[in-house]
Every structure is written in C-alpha cells, then in structure tokens.
Amino acid sequence: WVKDKKIKVIGMYLEEFIDGKDFVDIAKAYPNKSIVILHPGETKESQKAISSHTGSLAGSSDTIRAGLSQAGIIQVDSVEKMFNMLKMLSFSKLPNGYNTAIITNAGGPGIITTDLVVKSGLTLADLGSSTKSKLRKILPAAASINNPIDVVGDARSDRYKAALEIVDKDKNVDSILVVLTPQIVTQIEDTAKLIINFSKKSTKPIIPIFIGGKYVLPGLERFYDNKVPAFQYSEEASYSLKKLTDYSIFKTESKKKPKQLPTARRKPKNSAVIKLHTKKSPSVLPQKVVQKLAREFNLDTPEEELVHSPSKALQFAKRVKYPVVIKASSEDVVHKTDFKALFLNINSDEELLRKYSKLKTNIKKKTKVKNPTLLIQEQILGGEELIIGANRDGDSKVYKDGKGFGHLLLFGKGGIYTEVYRDTAVGLIPLTVPQLEKLVDITNVSKIIRGTRGKKPLAFRPLIDTLKKVQTMLLTYPQIESIDLNPLILTEDRCIVVDIKIFLSK
C-alpha cells in the first residue's frame, strides 16, 4: 500500500506489533502516506511488569503509542474515530496551527464547542481587531463578535457566508468550526452548499458541525456527497481536528533537517562482564558492574563505596565528611525504601554504626543473603529528585531484526513517590537533542527545572547530557531490558545519579 501511488490514506486494525521497529521504519520512509491505526487493548495483563518503577509506569501501550507518534502515525481507539480520521485526511485541508475559530447560530452549542476545543488541546483563536470590526458591521447588535462568534438564531446562509469570509482572512485563525442548529429561519441545505463551495476556495480546514438529528440530514447528505467531512456532534469534530492538526504539525517539523542526529551506539568496554550476567529471564546487574557502566558512560555519581565492614564505612565517612547515606546494593534489594534498606541523613560515627547494624539485619530478614554488601554514599543536599528509566520492547536483538520497538526512554519527577506523581514523558530511542529537550519540557517538573516563582533554573544542559548518555548506554548494550535511575538529583550546576538499577536479559 505504501508503494501504491493511487493510495493517499491507509487505515489499519492491528491487535499486536511483532515487528514494531520495522513497521515504524517503513512508515517513516513513506512520509507522504497518511496512516491511521485502530489498536485495541490498552492493558497488558498477561505480562508481569518488570520489578522497577519504570516497569510500572511505561507499559506496552505506552511503547506502541510513542512508536506510532514518532512516525507520524495516528492512533485511535474506536471504529468511529478511525473512519472520521480517514475522512479528514482524505478530504480536509491541513491546518498550519492549533488556533481555531467557532462560528455558531446558537449560544449553548457554541459554549459547549469552546469547552471541547480547549479540552482537546486546540486553542481558541484570538481574533484580530480588524476582524472584529468587520464582523460588527455585518452582524446584528445581539451577535457576539468574539470567538466563539455567535451569528444568532435568525442567521440565514448569507450571514454565515459573510462571517466565514471575514474570519477566514484572519491570520490568527488556522481552522474554522461551523456550528449549525435548526431554527425557524435556518437554511440548512443552502448553508451546507455555501460551506462546500467556501471550503474549496479556502486554504484552511472548514469543519461543519450540524446538530439536530433528522432535521439536519439534508445538509449532512450534501456534505457526504461532496466529500466534505462533517459532524453531528462537537466532541467528534474537536477530537478529529486536534488529531489532524497534530499530524499537520508533525509533517511540517519532519521536513526540517535535524540540527543533530540521534546518539549512536559506541564500542562497548564491558562486553564480557555484561555477557556473563545476561540470562534468558531478567536478572539484576550487580552493583560493581553498575558502577563500571556508570564510569564507562561518564555519569555524574556521588562519592560512594561498597563496604563489607563497619570499619570501612567509618573510613569512608571520615574521608567524605557527614552527612552520608547507607543502603543495600541493587542485587540484594531493588526497592530500598519499601524494605527499609536505606538510611539517609547520617551525621555521626555512632549513628552510622547503629544504622549499619540495623540495615544488615533488615536485609537478612527480607532476603536469603547471609552477608550482604552495603553501599555508602555522600549525601547530596538540595536539588530536585528526578527519574530516568527505560524498558525494552523485544529481545536484545531488536536493533538488528526489528522484532519489537526497542527501548522506551522515560523521564519525569522522581523519588519514592514517582508512581504517585505520575509526572512522566516517554519516547522511543534513538532521540535527537531537540527531542530529548521536548521530552523534558512535556513534564510539569520542567517548570521547576527551567526556574519558577523567583527560583534559579536548574542544570538543564547536564540533564540533557545525562539523557544522551543513558540512551547511548542502551544502544551500546541492548541486553539491558530495563534501567532505572531514581533518584537523580538536579542542582543548579550538576545532574547527579544517586541510584541505578539495571536488569539484563537475552
């Protein structure tokens, strides 16, 4: 279908994606084809989530959504939405932006449509002063010249036409929704005819919404016969226009040459040890190896040391100064806070010895480890707790055979309440630097990172560098099934990775 020159739009119903990466690559290779996919089943109950914060946040539906989105594929969740989008892509003009004007002959439906437009992610266009002045001249005194534009209930087709001609010329308007309800003098068929003719001349999408069931059927039938996408309800029109606008913006952006290419795989330095720990089922990577990878990819980490005795812990604390943190190593306990395997704000030798003993006891009770290794770190004070994570879709050969989507990179608000905040964004790697920046800016925590309420901005560039390094690590070692950097602490000048968990699998 993508090679058939006669086909402009492709609609597909797909229940699963076996060759996800190959599918996305093919879609990217044919940017002139519009693709709509109905993919049912947002849940994946049959698969046990990887035991990491990232696993519980980014499931397969997120992976599919990210993959399709990055290829410009429109995903819908119902047959009705699918056919609406197929009509829009086949017959509507593409908008240049999200600014939408509403023309209506009834106040209530106009207000409802306004709500739906804004909720969908579109923007209510701010009409220019010249547009308002012209509207005031041709509309009755009771009419509203603000957006939504109310041409009032006695509007005939000529009033709709006059309003359309004025609004269409406004440079602030990217698309127009025309709402009609059947009233005593409403010319349903005539209004439909003028919209059909006007939409042919306009460079903007003109979307009719004829509300009134059987009373507006003559108008709707004219739209169908003339291949003008029309709707009976504002909900479906707003949804479809937002999807169409997203697609249009994607097409515009994708034509621009990227300033920087995505991070590439590099020659691995720890292949042998990674191979040694890679098994068929997911296995946690020992802390020593995690530290090797952190050094290999130059991640900024706190002063830390794996210790086997209280005396070694005291020596470390004397060297780095208090306060310090002591916790279980990743291979012994994955979620340290849940198992009371983490102690913060240790400020004296006496407290360190006491917490050291308590921590060992806690680990022995919760695990089968008889002599656990503990990790002691300098404590990083201040800063914002964030998370970077990733889950792999497919096996470790995904970047060679295309069976799966690859790694889904996650960024967001971190710490022990990651799942509570649920302030995260995801993208399939490899991502360019602008795409990584967008990933950060999608989240609410980005407002704190950029500086808000008089506070100084945090280290944005080191954060982007850390995302790049993690991405490179995943491409270099595709055996990594999941990775969880939580928390990493962002200060005004550093992005410090405090805790790293890595799971490997073939």
Q: Could you read off the pLDDT of 173-199 as tens digits, one per residue?
A: 999 999 999 999 999 999 999 999 999
Mean pLDDT, residues 276-304 taken together: 92
102 shares its domain with 228: yes
Mean pLDDT, residues 244-271 taken together: 82
Looking at residue 19, its pLDDT comes to 83
Confidence of residue 64 (pLDDT cuts 50, 70, 90): confident
Looking at residue 18, its pLDDT comes to 80
Looking at residue 311, its pLDDT comes to 94
Asked if the structure places residue 77 within a domain, the reply is yes
Residue that finishes a domain, picked among 56, 89, 122 = 89
Alpha helices by DSSP H, 342-485: 349-366, 398-401, 418-421, 433-442, 446-450, 460-476
Task: State how far the Cα of 46 lies from the Cα of 64, in Å rounded to an integer.
Answer: 17
Looking at residue 411, its pLDDT comes to 96
105 shares its domain with 48: no
On the question of pLDDT at 74 being above 70, the answer is yes
On the question of pLDDT at 208 being above 80, the answer is yes
C-alpha count within 13 angstroms, C-beta hemisphere, residue 192: 23
Residue that finishes a domain, picked among 89, 122, 157 = 89
Task: State how far the Cα of 345 lies from the Cα of 326, in Å rounded to an integer.
Answer: 9
Q: Is the peptide bond before 229 cis (omega within 30 degrees of 0)?
A: no
Coil, helix or strand at residue 336: coil
Confidence of residue 14 (pLDDT cuts 50, 70, 90): confident
**C-beta of residue 428 within 8 angstroms of C-beta of residue 60:** no
Asked if the structure places residue 351 within a domain, the reply is no
143 shares its domain with 61: no
**C-beta of residue 179 within 8 angstroms of C-beta of residue 106:** yes
85 shares its domain with 144: no
Strands 206-210 and 175-180: parallel
97 shares its domain with 169: yes
Residue with tokens 């127009």: 176
48 shares its domain with 106: no
The count of structural domains within the chain is 2
Range from 47-56, 75-84, 155-164, 189-198 carrying the lowest mean pLDDT: 47-56
Task: State how far the Cα of 500 lies from the Cα of 484, in Å rounded to an integer.
Answer: 6
Confidence of residue 421 (pLDDT cuts 50, 70, 90): confident
Report the DSSP beta bridge partners of residue 177.
102, 207
Q: Is 185 buried (19+), middle (13-18) or exposed (0-12) by CB count in 10 A?
A: exposed
Q: Residue 41: give its domain's CATH number.
A: 3.40.50.261
Q: Give the model confidence (pLDDT) of 294-318 as tens digits.
A: 999 999 999 999 998 999 999 999 9
Q: Give the model confidence (pLDDT) of 88-104 as tens digits.
A: 999 999 999 999 999 99
Asked if the structure places residue 72 within a domain, the reply is yes
Task: State how far the Cα of 412 lies from the Cα of 425, in Å rounded to an integer.
Answer: 6
Looking at residue 47, its pLDDT comes to 41
For 251, residues 6+ apart whose C-beta sits below 8 A from its C-beta are 31, 72, 94
What type of residue is 156?
A: R
Asked if the structure places residue 136 within a domain, the reply is yes
Strands (E) in 107-229, as ranges, are 123-124, 149-150, 175-180, 206-210
For 198, residues 6+ apart whose C-beta sits below 8 A from its C-beta are 161, 164, 165, 168, 206
66 shares its domain with 155: no
User: Which structure tokens are listed for 2?
Assistant: 């993508």
Residue with tokens 């210790």: 307
159 shares its domain with 79: no
What type of residue is 432?
A: T
Buried b (16+ CB within 10 A) or exposed e, 126-142: ebeeebeebbeebbeee
Strands 342-346 and 406-413: unpaired
On the question of pLDDT at 369 being above 70, the answer is yes
Task: State how far the Cα of 359 lies from the Cα of 341, in Å rounded to an integer.
Answer: 6
Looking at residue 331, its pLDDT comes to 66
What type of residue is 257?
A: K
68 shares its domain with 111: no
What type of residue is 205?
A: P
Looking at residue 334, its pLDDT comes to 60
74 shares its domain with 142: no
- Domain extent, residue 184, equals 93-234+249-255
Asked if the structure places residue 165 within a domain, the reply is yes
Q: Give the model confidence (pLDDT) of 312-362 as tens digits.
A: 999 999 999 999 999 988 665 665 555 677 899 999 999 999 999 999 888
Task: State how far the Cα of 207 lies from the Cα of 228, in Å rounded to an integer.
Answer: 8
Task: State how far the Cα of 100 lies from the Cα of 90, in Å rounded to an integer.
Answer: 20
44 shares its domain with 97: no
Residue that finishes a domain, picked among 255, 284, 302 = 255
Looking at residue 342, its pLDDT comes to 87
On the question of pLDDT at 46 being above 80, the answer is no
What is the rounded (10 degree) CA torsion for 124, 126, 132, 134?
A: -90
Report which listed range, 3-7, 38-42, 55-59, 76-80, is most confident.
76-80
DSSP secondary structure letter of residue 426 = E
On the question of pLDDT at 72 being above 70, the answer is yes
Mean pLDDT for all residues in the chain: 90
pTM of the model: 0.83
Confidence of residue 49 (pLDDT cuts 50, 70, 90): very low
On the question of pLDDT at 12 being above 90, the answer is yes
80 shares its domain with 126: no
Percent over 70 (pLDDT), the chain = 93
Confidence of residue 229 (pLDDT cuts 50, 70, 90): very high
Asked if the structure places residue 195 within a domain, the reply is yes
Confidence of residue 366 (pLDDT cuts 50, 70, 90): confident
Higher per-residue confidence, 420 vs 355: 355
Q: Give the model confidence (pLDDT) of 138-167 as tens digits.
A: 999 989 999 999 999 999 999 999 999 999
Report the DSSP beta bridge partners of residue 365.
none
Asked if the structure places residue 377 within a domain, the reply is no
Strands 424-428 and 9-13: unpaired
**C-beta of residue 55 within 8 angstroms of C-beta of residue 30:** no
User: Which structure tokens are listed for 75?
Assistant: 């995903």
Asked if the structure places residue 435 within a domain, the reply is no
